[in-house]
Structure 1
Amino acid sequence: MTKTIGILTSGGDCAGLNAVIRAVVHRAAHYGWTVLGIRDGTMGLLDRPMRYETLDVTKVDGTVMRLGGTILGTTNKGNPFAFPMPDRSTKDRSDEIIEAVRELKLDAVIGIGGDGSFAILRRLATQGGFNLVGIPKTIDNDIGLTEVAVGFDTAVSVATEALDRLQPTAASHARVMVLEVMGRDAGHIALHAGIAGGADVILLPEIPYDLDVVAKKILDLRAGGRNSALIIVSEAVRTLEGKMVKVEHHGGARRYGGIGQYLGEAISQATGAETRVTVLGHVQRGSPPSAQDRLVATAFGVHAVDLVADGKFDRMVAWSNRRVVDVPIADAIARYQAVDLESDLVKTARALGICLGDR
């Protein structure tokens, strides 16, 4: 039976999204189905006329897979259940999206997103009675029930390369280099890149730190003959007073940013070391996808289409024990995945003598 699938990317962009789209289109072609690419997440379904395009294998060749970002566009604004209006009020526009799904005669919607996007899409699907399959993507890697999400490996690779580049300049100038990375409320990027990039100190939001402990690590390195140090810190790490460091952006949105500079100054005062701070920011999102992200994204896209073929909906594709599986979306978004303090990677960092800021 011929089907029409809608696919959209939602939330922040990351590397590997185009590899997912490519895989979905190619697998759908195997079944003889049509794929409609929705522009800019749910915004493409809110606008009139609706913004979408028919995707076929000629539009998503191997070149697309290599590109960062998303060819469909995405947005992390405009919750349809509380959509911001010009007069600063909010309006429930969910019915407009549901009507768009019906008008396009979509047999299923494949949403590529994080926990926030899944919560909105699942609510829309439940209210509108349409079929939904989710594919996890987030550089933060904090979605539950999957060992990895699309985009995480590339973000770690970028952060690791940054440490590789900072190390020689730190040694050349006898400096302490502080690298601030993304991750929202989870420290997965900092932990993975810190170990892979040879950091001396890794600070995570899951582990409260003591500045005296960090300072002692740097002073011990100096006493041992080292003239430099590398520190990687996740953006959600708090100040010594327990405050979150955030920056206000256009429209009043407040997002993490600035803990690196705060720590750089505090460490300089505590140790007398010359410090420099680098904030990677969106550089972690914009890179071409790593080989691992391309593989995971492709496997996820194929499995998502197969779920549609099997009539299995309200499911999220996941990676577990080197296999592609699927789990209930509700269970995945209910189990936030922060860094497990008893995990092998945390134990590895400690075994290597990396300072995690605690006593």
Structure 2
Amino acid sequence: MGEHKRIGILTSGGDCAGLNPVIRAVVRRAVRGYNWEVLGICRSTLGLMADPPEVLHLAVDDIDRLLTMGGTILGTTNKGDPFAFPMPDGSLRDRSEDIIAGYHKLGLDALIGIGGDGSLAILRRICQQGNLNLVGIPKTIDNDVAITERSIGFDTAVNIATEALDRLHFTAASHNRVMILEVMGRDAGHIALNAGIAGGANIILIPEIPYSLDNVCAKIRERQAKGKHFCVVIISEAVCDQEGELIQYTDRFGQCRFGGVGEYLAEKIAVATGAETRVTVLGHIQRGGIPSPLDRLVASAFGVAAVDLIANEQYDKVVTWQNRQVVPIPISEAIGQYGAVNPQGTLIKTARGLSICLGD
């Protein structure tokens, strides 16, 4: 079995389907494969900042239910930079050393961090500062971690968006409407592109390909001329308006959020074509629900591989999915690139080959 270890695991950034299956896989492999102890860190780095640290002792008998459970039993956060952490008095404080101290208080031999490129960059900086052992697992519904073909949560999000398109087709046809589905995608259009092709959208708009309202309306008129008086559109929340500006709003916490491009486009289309338009904003529904079989498979493979990396003392690595297998690479490579949609890639060529309008 080798040396006994105590490892920690945390989930960071936005939640998504597939996080709990990763936790399950890590516990099963670590406990049954190596007879190690696994501590779940609650609320990401906030749990390590707490004194005493907030943890769950994870046993095999407690985690089988996690395979089909959405979200994360450990909780997560995507607020508060540990290097400039907001304090109650309004000041900002570097709390990275508190996180390092929490790691040592728990007697951890290694930490598994599940996050996107931003979360992994912060975790890596802290672990390098404290000489802590870190292994990363990529998760994001946006699938924008460049070096991996798949991130946990992406497939489930695409499935949900595709189902929404399937349902919108019927009401669009019944009422001769233009139905617009606005989906998530902070900077990348992977969800819109994948779901749009799979769900038979007539128009797909993503931030990587600038669009013209004239081209969009021309597609709608073309369908009208053929007697098809309905149209289904999917648009990423990060698509800009015609002036090239992002459509954002400020929430009650003072943070800028994407949202509203669907309504913007609907109004423009209605004026230009006379078509009756309706908008559905899928929002956080894409993050929730039961993980898809593919997300469960990738999550399980990533969890097992991460534990095996620790067993072999291969730290500062992130597990990736490449050519149908798990490939560990340095975290610095994973966070050093951004995985936007390739405008000359296979799926873009597929969409064009299917006569789907991309707005350009």
Q: What TM-score, normalized to structure 1?
A: 0.99
Q: Deviations over 1:169-222 (max 9, x none)?
A: 011110000000001100000000000000000000000000000000000001
Q: Secondary structure at the match of 1:70?
A: coil
- Write the distance in 1 (CA, Å) between the matches of 2:61 and 2:272: 59
Match of 1:43 among 43, 46, 50: 46
The structural deviation recorded for 1:140 is 0.3
- Write the distance in 2 (CA, Å) between the matches of 1:332 and 1:276: 39
- Write the distance in 2 (CA, Å) between the matches of 1:249 and 1:89: 21
Question: What's the counterpart of residue 276 of structure 2?
Answer: 274
- Write the distance in 2 (CA, Å) between the matches of 1:246 and 1:115: 22
The structural deviation recorded for 1:225 is 1.4
Question: What's the counterpart of residue 137 of structure 2?
Answer: 135
Q: Deviations over 1:277-323 (max 9, x none)?
A: 00000000011100000000000000000000011010000000011
Question: What's the counterpart of residue 23 of structure 2?
Answer: 21
- Write the distance in 2 (CA, Å) between the matches of 1:311 and 1:132: 10
- Write the distance in 2 (CA, Å) between the matches of 1:157 and 1:16: 13
Match of 2:358 among 349, 353, 356: 356
- The amino acid of 1:275's aligned partner reads T
- Write the distance in 1 (CA, Å) between the matches of 2:74 and 2:82: 19
Match of 1:324 among 320, 323, 326: 326
Question: What's the counterpart of residue 264 of structure 2?
Answer: 262
The structural deviation recorded for 1:109 is 0.3
The structural deviation recorded for 1:65 is 1.0
Question: What's the counterpart of residue 283 of structure 1?
Answer: 285
- Write the distance in 2 (CA, Å) between the matches of 1:237 and 1:78: 27
**% identical aligned pairs:** 62
Match of 1:53 among 51, 56, 59: 56
- Write the distance in 1 (CA, Å) between the matches of 2:157 and 2:114: 17
Q: Deviations over 1:17-40 (max 9, x none)?
A: 000000000000110100000001
Instruction: Flag structure 2 segments of 5+ consecutive residues without an equivalent.
Output: none
Aligned length: 357
The structural deviation recorded for 1:342 is 1.1
The structural deviation recorded for 1:49 is 2.3
Alignment of 1:1-359 (within 5 A): 1-29=3-31, 30-61=33-64, 63-358=65-360
- Write the distance in 1 (CA, Å) between the matches of 2:268 and 2:276: 11
The structural deviation recorded for 1:234 is 0.3
TM-align CA RMSD: 0.6
- The amino acid of 1:312's aligned partner reads Q
- Write the distance in 1 (CA, Å) between the matches of 2:217 and 2:297: 41
Q: Secondary structure at the match of 2:61?
A: coil
Q: What TM-score, normalized to structure 2?
A: 0.98
